[in-house]
Structure 1
Amino acid sequence: MDNLSHSLVGLAVGELVQRSLPAEADPDRQRTRRRLMLVSCWAASNFPDLDLVLSGNLPSPLGYLLHHRGHTHTLLFGIPQALLLIALLWILWPGARALLRASKPARAGLLAAVGAGFLLHIGMDALNSYGVHPFYPFDARWFYGDMVFILEPVFWVAGAVPLAMMPGSRFWRALPLAGLAGALAYFTVRGYLHWASLAALLAFGAGLALLQQRAGQAGRQALCAALLGALGFVAVQGAATRQGQAIVADHLRLRDPASTLLDTSMTAFPANPLCWIFVSAERNERAGTYRLRRGMVSIAPSVLALDACPAALSEGASPRHPQLVVNWSQETSLARLRALQANNCRFDAWMRFARMPALGTDDASDLRFSTTPRGNFTTLPLDRKNGQPCPAGVPGWGYPRADLL
């Protein structure tokens, strides 16, 4: 997920932890404790992304692909990260240190806020098609949620609105709310959000604002409603992605009954459970080939046909294809893929990330990321890498496409 989502949800959960604890007898300690809960949960919700500093340990693009969402995004290595964060807060924040020495609720709250922040980060990252491997080293497999777009405004609204309604001044309440509404409207005009999604987000935000206004300085209703709303959205997306995968499977079975469908990666549109981008991987062992396809699917074309999906993310949909369209297809020799994996150590390392490996003449790319604003950041040159020294320190993640190797 984007760090704005991580931050806003982390702050909201930190505030919820604070409001769930018994109040401190001293008002100054109460204010310090609130700041501590907010800062600690916010920091924990972003801390695992410090793995970006490790990207230089492997040649591009392997450093980013294999180290981002790497060891810092595992449950086991979350423990030393949490201890490090708590130690930094203790050393660098004298007021928090004095509070923690004197207050048992503050100590319990700090543990809850930091633990929740790390679990939130891994859990939110698990929702999209990029994937995580949270159980490493006990289980090296990648896990893919395929449910939520990597920039998800539902989380922005859920985290930001209750927090924005807490300042006493009307001006300071209105300013962030207006900024959020303006950003959502901008993305809608630019074709990233559907107008119905904008209306739903504004209604969700308005409901949270009213709840928070009634909750007052100590109430938790709006924060709980925000988190429950976000969880409900994730549940709807989970059901929608399964329906989309079933539609794709039925279509491909009719199109090529000789092939075995191995996997279907699903990428959601923001705040939209109906429009999806899919990438499928099929294997035809008898022919010695595998095929990748990329396209779009609407799970309810009578409600929202493909050509009505947000234009900025759409890929060649037309009124002739209201439910499903395949925009790109490639059939590749299994022998070539297996030879590259056996003889090219850089390609072998890359295959520890690639879920949808598309082979070109001189390079390889993961087809999930073919339409990002900066191009496909997964592209690995093949010709000039053969015979070069093998990269050291390649993590032992499982091969997503072991079923092709």
Structure 2
Amino acid sequence: MDNLSHSLVGLAVGELVHRTLPAEADPAQHGIRRRLMLVACCAASNFPDLDLVLSGLLPQPLGYLLHHRGHTHTLLYGVPQALLLIALLWILWPGARTLLRASNAARAGLLAAVGAGFLLHLGMDALNSYGVHPFYPVDPRWIYGDMVFILEPVFWVAGAVPLAMMLGSRVRRGLLLAALAALLVFFTARGFLHWGSLIALLAFGAGLALLQRGAGKNGKRALCAGLLGAVAFVAMQGAAMQRGKTIVADRLRLLDPASTLLDTAMTAFPANPACWMFVSAERDAVAGTYRMRRGMVSVAPDVLALDACPAALSEGARERQAQIVINWSQEMSLARLRALRAGNCRIDAWLRFARMPALGPDTGFDVRFSNTPAGNFTTLPIDGANSQPCPGGVPAWGYPRADLL
């Protein structure tokens, strides 16, 4: 997920932890505890993304592909990260150190906020098609949620509105809420959000604002409602995603009954359960080939047909009222893929990330992230790699397409 989503949800959970704990006897200490819960949970919700500093350990694009969402995004390595964050808060924040020495509630809250923050980061990152492998080294396989767009405004509204309504100043409250609404309108005007999604998001935000307004000074109804609303949205996306995969499987079975569908990667549109991008991987063992297809699917074409999906994220021509369209397809040699994997150490490392690997004459790229002639951030040159030293320290993540290798 984007770091704005991580931060806002982390802040909301930190505030909820604080409001759930018994009050501190000293009002000043109570205020310090609130700030500590907010900072701790927000920082923990972003801490794993510090793995970006490790991307220089391997030549690009392998460094980013194999180290981002890497070791710091595992349950095992989450423990030392949590301990490091708590140590930094203890060392760098004298007021928090004094509070923690005196208050059992603050100590319990800090553990809850930091633990929740790290679990939120892993859980939210697991919701999209990029994937995580949280159980490494016990299980090195990638896990893909395929449910939520990587920048999801539902999370922004769920976290930001209750927090904004808790501000004492009406001016600051109004400015923050207006800025959030303006951001949503901007993305809608730019073609990233459907107008129906905008209306639903504004209604969701208005409901949370009214809940918090009537909740009293220490109320937490809006926080709980916002988080529950986000969970309900994820559940709805999960059901829509499964429906989309079924539609894709049915269409591909008609197009090529001889091929075996191995996987379908689904990418949601923001705040939109109807519109989806998909990339499929098929294998024809008899022909010795595999095929990647990329297209769009609407799980509710009577409500929102493909030609009505947000234009900025749509690709290619779309028939009016169509349920599914395939915009790109490429058939490739299994023998070539396997030979490159066996004889080219860079391709072998790249295949530890590439869920939907497509091979051109000179490059390979993961079709999940576009199929443009220029490639995308996953594009790896094939030429001349055999004459270069193999990169050291390649993480032992599982091969997403082991079924092709």
User: Where does 1:234-383 land on structure 2 (aligned, <5 Å)?
Assistant: 234-320=234-320, 322-370=322-370, 376-383=376-383
Shift of 1:322: 1.1
Asked if 1 retains the 8 angstrom alpha-carbon contact of 2:61 and 2:380, the reply is: yes
Asked if 2 retains the 8 angstrom alpha-carbon contact of 1:344 and 1:387, the reply is: no
Matched, 1:87 2:87: yes
User: Where does 1:6-405 land on structure 2 (aligned, <5 Å)?
Assistant: 6-320=6-320, 322-370=322-370, 376-405=376-405
Asked if 2 retains the 8 angstrom alpha-carbon contact of 1:42 and 1:117, the reply is: yes
Unaligned runs of at least 5 residues, structure 1:
none
Shift of 1:22: 0.1
Q: Which amino acid aligns with 2:239?
A: A
Q: Which amino acid aligns with 1:230?
A: A
| 1:312 aligned counterpart, secondary structure | helix
Unaligned runs of at least 5 residues, structure 2:
none
Shift of 1:26: 0.2
- Moved >3 Å (runs of 4+): none
TM-score, normalised to structure 1, is: 0.99
| 2:135 aligned counterpart, secondary structure | coil
Moved more, 187-196 or 312-321: 312-321
Asked if 2 retains the 8 angstrom alpha-carbon contact of 1:265 and 1:280, the reply is: yes
Compute the RMSD of aligned alpha carbons.
1.0
Cα distance in 1, alignment partners of residues 17 and 320 from structure 2: 52
Q: Which amino acid aligns with 1:245?
A: K
Asked if 2 retains the 8 angstrom alpha-carbon contact of 1:306 and 1:317, the reply is: no
Distance 1:226 1:375, change over 3 A: farther
Between the two proteins, what is the percent identity of the paired residues? 79
Shift of 1:282: 0.2
Asked if 1 retains the 8 angstrom alpha-carbon contact of 2:306 and 2:320, the reply is: no
Asked if 1 retains the 8 angstrom alpha-carbon contact of 2:269 and 2:275, the reply is: yes
For residues 21-71 of structure 1, the C-alpha deviation after alignment (integer angstroms, 9 at most, x for no partner) is 000000000000000000000000000000000000000000000000000
Query: What is the number of equivalent residue pairs in this alignment?
Result: 404
Q: Which amino acid aligns with 1:105?
A: A
Asked if 2 retains the 8 angstrom alpha-carbon contact of 1:296 and 1:317, the reply is: no
Shift of 1:215: 1.2
TM-score, normalised to structure 2, is: 0.99
Asked if 2 retains the 8 angstrom alpha-carbon contact of 1:249 and 1:261, the reply is: yes
| 1:215 aligned counterpart, secondary structure | coil
Q: Which amino acid aligns with 1:157?
A: V
Distance 1:194 1:320, change over 3 A: closer
Cα distance in 1, alignment partners of residues 47 and 145 from structure 2: 21
For residues 197-247 of structure 1, the C-alpha deviation after alignment (integer angstroms, 9 at most, x for no partner) is 000000000000001111122111000000000000000000000000000
For residues 77-97 of structure 1, the C-alpha deviation after alignment (integer angstroms, 9 at most, x for no partner) is 000000000000000000000
Cα distance in 1, alignment partners of residues 321 and 338 from structure 2: 36
Shift of 1:370: 1.0
